[in-house]
A and B are shown apart, each in its own frame.
Chain A
Amino acid sequence: MDALRDLLLTYETLVGYVGINTLLALSIYATLSAGQLSLANAGFMAIGAYTGALLTLRAGLPFPLVLVAATLVPALVAVPLGLPVLRLRGVFLAIATIGFGEVVRLGFVNWDYVNGAMGLDAIPQKTRLWMIWLAVAAALFLFARLRGSRAGLALEAIREDETAARSMGIGTTSHKLAVLALGASLAGLAGAFEAHLTFTVAPNGFAFGRVIDMLVQAVVGGTLVFYGPLLGAAFLTILPELLREIGARAGVAPGAFRPMVNGLVLLLVILFLPNGLASLPARWRARRGRR
C-alpha cells in the first residue's frame, strides 16, 4: 500500500512539473511569437517566486491573492525593462535579457531580508495540481484565441519583418511590450507555484541554466503553434524519467544524464525538425501524400 502511495506521489510531482514547465515554456513562446528572443524569464520567475513566498510567509495573504500578486509584479517590472531593451534586436536583446536575469539573481543573493544565497524555506505547500493545470489551460486558451486575431496577426507580422510591420502602421513597441509582460506574468506565476510546491526558493534555482531549460522545451515543442510548448515541456520532463533506468544501466552518472538528453534532443530538433515536435503530424501527412 505504501509503495502504491509512493508511486502516486512521484507521479503527482511529475504531472505538476509538466504543468509548471509548460507555463515557463509558454512564457518564452510569448516573446518568440513576436520574433523576440528574450531570456529574462528566469529573473521574472524569481520575482514571482519571491513575491509569492514573502506574501505567504511575512504577510499571511490568502493563496489566490498571492498568485495574483506573483502574476502582476513581474509584469510591472517587465514594462520599464522592456522600454529601453526591446529596441535591441536578435542576439543583442538575448544578451541584454541574460544580463537582466543575472542581475535579479544577484540582487536576491545580496538581499539579507530574504536570507541571501540561502533563500527562504518552510513555505507552506499550497499548490494543488488542479491550480497549475487550470492556469495552463487558461494560458493555452489565451494563446489559441490570439491566433488569427488582430493582435495575433500583428505579432506574426512583427516576427516576419519588423520594419515592414511598422511601416504598415502596426505599433511594434506596444505589441512587443505586451508579449514581454505576458511572458513575465506566466513565468512569475510558475515561480509562485513552484515555491509553494517545493517549500523553498533560493537564488540558485533561477540561474542562467533555468532559462535555457525553458527555451529548450519551447523550441523542442515548436514555437509556431501555441500547443508546441506544452508538447516540449511534457516530452522533456517525462523523457529523462523514462530513460533514467537505461541511463543508469549504461553507467551514465545521474547528474550528467538529464543535460545529455536535453542537449541531444535540442540539437536533433534544431537541425532536423526546425518547427519542433508540433510539426511532426504535418510532416507525416506530407510524406504519406507523396507516396
Chain B
Amino acid sequence: MGQQALNGIFVGSIYALFAVGYTLVFGVLDILNLAHQAVFMLSAFLALTLVATAHLPLGAAMLVAILAAGVLGIVLERIAFRPLRGRADSNISGLISSLAMATVFEAIALQLFGPDISRFPLGTFPDRVVRIGTATASLLQIVIVGVAVALMAALSLLIARTRLGRQLRAVAESPRAARVLGIDVDRVIAYAFFLSSALGGAAGVLFGLAFNSISPDVGRSVELKGLAVIILGGMGSIPGAVVAGFALGLVETFTVARFGSSFRDVVSFAVLFLVLVARPRGLFGQASVREG
C-alpha cells in the first residue's frame, strides 16, 4: 500500500511537471501545443548525448538540456504560432501547425538517434535505496520528485510574485487589454513558451532517467497522459495540473497493482473522457474558458 502510493507520487510528479508546461501555454494563448511532447523527447535525448558522449556531469547536462528546450520553445512559437496569430481559426490551425512541428522534431530524432531505445550509461546516477517506513524508494526517485516539485514551486512563485508573472496573467486574461496597458504581448508569449518548453524539457530528462529508455516516440504516450491531466485539472490552471498530475499517477499505479499493467493507459483515457463529458471545466478550471 505505502509502496504503491510512493510509486504513484513518483510517476505523478513527472506527469505534473509535463502538464504544467502544457497548461501554461494553453492558459496564455488558448492554443494546445501538440509539439510539447517532441520538445520533451528532444531534451531527454540531448541530456543523454551530453552525458554519454560529451561526458558532462548529469547536473550540468540537465541544465543545458532544460535551457535548450526553452530556446526550442521560442523557435517553435516563432515558426508555428506567431504567423497564425490573428487568423480566425487560429486555435485549430495552431493545433495543426504544432502537430507539423512535432512530426518534424520526431523525424529529426529518428534521423539522429535511430528508432531504437537509447539508455543512459551505467552509473550515471548512484544506485542507492532509501527506506521510508515499510516502503523503499531509490535515491533517484526521491531526487526526481524533489526536482519536479521545486521546479513547479518556482513557476508558481514566478507567476504569483514577479513582474513577468503579472504580465503573463494579464495576457491570459485578455491580450487586447494587456496591449492597451502597454505590455509587449509578443514578448510575454515568447517567455511563456520558453518557460513551458523548459519545464517540458526538464520532465523529459527526468522521465529518461526514471525509466532509462528514450526513443523518438517516447513523448507520444506522455502527451496523451498530459492531456488527461490538464483536462482533469482544468485547462489553463497550473495548480489544477499539479494536483491532477499526482492524482493520475496514484490512480494509475493502484490500477496496475490491482488489475495488471495492460490497464495502465486505459485509466488516463477513461478519466479524460469522463471529465470531458461530465464536468468539462475540470477540477480548477473556469467555466468561461469553455465557450468557443
Binding site for B on A (CB under 8 A): 37, 84-85, 88-92, 94-96, 98-100, 102-103, 106, 109-110, 162, 207-209, 212, 215-216, 219, 252-253, 255-257, 259-260, 262-264, 266-267, 270-271, 274
The SS class assigned to the B binding surface is helix
- Cβ-defined contact, B96 with A215, below 8 A: yes
Residue numbers in A under 8 Å from B227 (CB-CB): 95, 98-99
| Besides A262-B103, A270-B96, 19 other A-B contacts (C-beta < 8 A) | A84-B277, A91-B235, A92-B235, A94-B32, A94-B95, A98-B227, A99-B272, A103-B266, A106-B265, A253-B111, A253-B114, A256-B111, A260-B104, A263-B100, A263-B104, A263-B107, A264-B100, A267-B97, A271-B83
- Cβ-defined contact, B262 with A110, below 8 A: yes
23 A-B pairs, CB-CB below 8 angstroms? Answer: A85-B276, A89-B291, A90-B292, A91-B31, A92-B231, A92-B276, A95-B272, A96-B273, A99-B273, A102-B269, A216-B99, A260-B104, A263-B100, A263-B101, A263-B102, A266-B100, A270-B93, A270-B97, A270-B100, A271-B83, A271-B84, A271-B97, A274-B87
Residue numbers in B under 8 Å from A103 (CB-CB): 266, 269-270, 273
Count residues of B near A (Cβ-Cβ below 8 Å). 47
User: What distance in Å separates the Cβ of A168 from its nearest Cβ neighbour in chain B?
Assistant: 18
Residue B280, interface by CB 8 Å: yes
- Cβ-defined contact, B280 with A88, below 8 A: yes
Residue B80, interface by CB 8 Å: yes
Q: Which of B243-292 contact A (CB under 8 A)?
A: 262-263, 265-266, 269-270, 272-273, 276-277, 280, 290-292
- Cβ-defined contact, A263 with B103, below 8 A: yes
Residue of B nearest to A264 (CB): B104
B 113-149 binary contact with A (CB < 8 Å = 1; else 0): 0110000000000000000000000000000000000
Binding site for A on B (CB under 8 A): 30-32, 79-80, 83-84, 87, 91-93, 95-97, 99-104, 106-108, 110-111, 114-115, 220, 224, 227-228, 231, 235, 262-263, 265-266, 269-270, 272-273, 276-277, 280, 290-292
- Cβ-defined contact, B263 with A110, below 8 A: yes
User: What distance in Å separates the Cβ of A209 from its nearest Cβ neighbour in chain B?
Assistant: 8
Give the complex CA separation of A88 and B114 in angstroms: 39
Residue of B nearest to A109 (CB): B262
- Cβ-defined contact, A91 with B269, below 8 A: no
Residue numbers in B under 8 Å from A256 (CB-CB): 107-108, 110-111
Give the complex CA separation of A63 and B172 in angstroms: 55
Residue of A nearest to B231 (CB): A95
- Given A110-B263, A255-B110, A259-B107: A95 touches B32 (CB 8 Å cut-off): yes
User: What distance in Å separates the Cβ of B83 from its nearest Cβ neighbour in chain A?
Assistant: 5
Residue numbers in A under 8 Å from B277 (CB-CB): 84-85, 96
Residue of B nearest to A162 (CB): B292
- Cβ-defined contact, A100 with B273, below 8 A: yes
User: What distance in Å separates the Cβ of A126 from its nearest Cβ neighbour in chain B?
Assistant: 32
- Cβ-defined contact, A106 with B110, below 8 A: no
- Cβ-defined contact, A90 with B91, below 8 A: yes
Give the complex CA separation of A95 and B100 in angstroms: 17
Residue numbers in B under 8 Å from A99 (CB-CB): 224, 227-228, 269, 272-273, 276
Give the complex CA separation of A90 and B224 in angstroms: 17
Give the complex CA separation of A216 and B97 in angstroms: 10
